[in-house]
Amino acid sequence: NAGVTQTPKFQVLKTGQSMTLQCAQDMNHNSMYWYRQDPGMGLRLIYYSASEGTTDKGEVPNGYNVSRLNKREFSLRLESAAPSQTSVYFCASTKRGDADTQYFGPGTRLTVL
Amino acid sequence: GQQLNQSPQSMFIQEGEDVSMNCTSSSIFNTWLWYKQDPGEGPVLLIALYKAGELTSNGRLTAQFGITRKDSFLNISASIPSDVGIYFCAGHGRSNYQLIWGAGTKLIIKP
């Protein structure tokens, strides 16, 4: 079991460029999440998908879109990257009935110049 | 919105020392969670607390759910080098799917 995988690990973008962060889990979990982590601010929820076919906004959704492609995959898209989106992005998943135990991927470190 | 205040921000300790950190909120939480993040990795759940006054241990780690439901404490006894990392408290937000996270306590062990 690989758990939660994320690609890429690192990315540098110029302002205005677009990109998609990929996330996949092989634990048959129902719910998936995208967070960003900034120094001194903990983790902030961008979007989540409670189950396949549904997505909902979290605390900081502006500038992002998501797609729950199937039960395994949940992608995060930046349509027009801004320097304020420089951050470390984490994907997580949870199984049905246990939203407390979130399994995290290794993160994507994104820099927007 | 709901916020969690975590302190201290960072701690420099000697190997073998005991460590204490805490998390407070201006509003009531029904669940308190403690996660640890190793350098370069995502957080991992250490302890979950579900009842006011609850005291739960996981090896050398002990966490308590405050009686007022507005705070929680994490203690680490006899720290070892692999304890370094960032410790986060978290609780449920508007829905069970949303966790509110503290800013973290960074633990550094002096050589």
In chain A, the largest separation of any two C-alpha atoms, in whole Å, equals: 41
Query: Taking CB atoms and an 8 Å limit, are B103 and A44 in contact across chains?
Result: no
Closest residue in chain B to residue A9, using alpha carbons only: B40
For residue B38, pLDDT over 80 is answered with yes
Q: State how far residue B16 is from chain A, nearest Cα, in angstroms.
A: 27
In sequence order, which residues have a C-beta less than 8 Å from that of residue B6 and are 6 or more positions away? A42, B21, B22, B23, B88, B89, B102, B103, B104, B105
Q: State how far residue B111 is from chain A, nearest Cα, in angstroms.
A: 24
Least confident of A28-32, B42-46, B67-71, B91-95: B91-95
> What is the C-alpha separation between A67 and A71, in angstroms, rounded?
11
Q: Could you tell me the pLDDT band of residue B99, with boundaries at 50, 70 and 90?
A: confident
Q: B88 in contact with A at a CB cutoff of 8 Å?
A: yes
pLDDT tens profile A8-32: 999 999 999 999 999 999 999 999 9
**Cα torsion A70, A73, A39, A12: sign:** negative
- Give pLDDT, residue A27: 94
Q: Could you tell me the pLDDT band of residue B94, with boundaries at 50, 70 and 90?
A: low
Q: B40 in contact with A at a CB cutoff of 8 Å?
A: yes
Q: Could you tell me the pLDDT band of residue B84, with boundaries at 50, 70 and 90?
A: very high
Report, as an integer, the average pLDDT of B56-76.
Answer: 96
> What is the C-alpha separation between B69 and B27, in angstroms, rounded?
8
Task: Print pLDDT tens along chain A (113 aa).
Answer: 789 999 999 999 999 999 999 999 999 999 999 999 998 888 999 999 999 999 999 989 999 999 998 999 999 999 999 999 999 999 999 988 777 889 999 999 999 99
Report, as an integer, the average pLDDT of B49-53.
Answer: 93
Q: B7 in contact with A at a CB cutoff of 8 Å?
A: no
Query: Taking CB atoms and an 8 Å limit, are A107 and B41 in contact across chains?
Result: yes
Helix (H, G, I), strand (E, B) or coil at A83: helix
- The DSSP bridge pattern shows strands A43-49 and A56-57 to be antiparallel
Please check whether residue B100 is in contact with residue B90, taking contact to mean a CB–CB distance below 8 angstroms: yes
Report, as an integer, the average pLDDT of B79-108.
Answer: 89
Q: State how far residue A26 is from chain B, nearest Cα, in angstroms.
A: 17
For residue B96, pLDDT over 80 is answered with no
- Give pLDDT, residue B89: 96
Report, as an integer, the average pLDDT of B91-110.
Answer: 85
Most A CBs within 10 A among B97, B98, B100, B105, hence the mutation to make, goes to B97
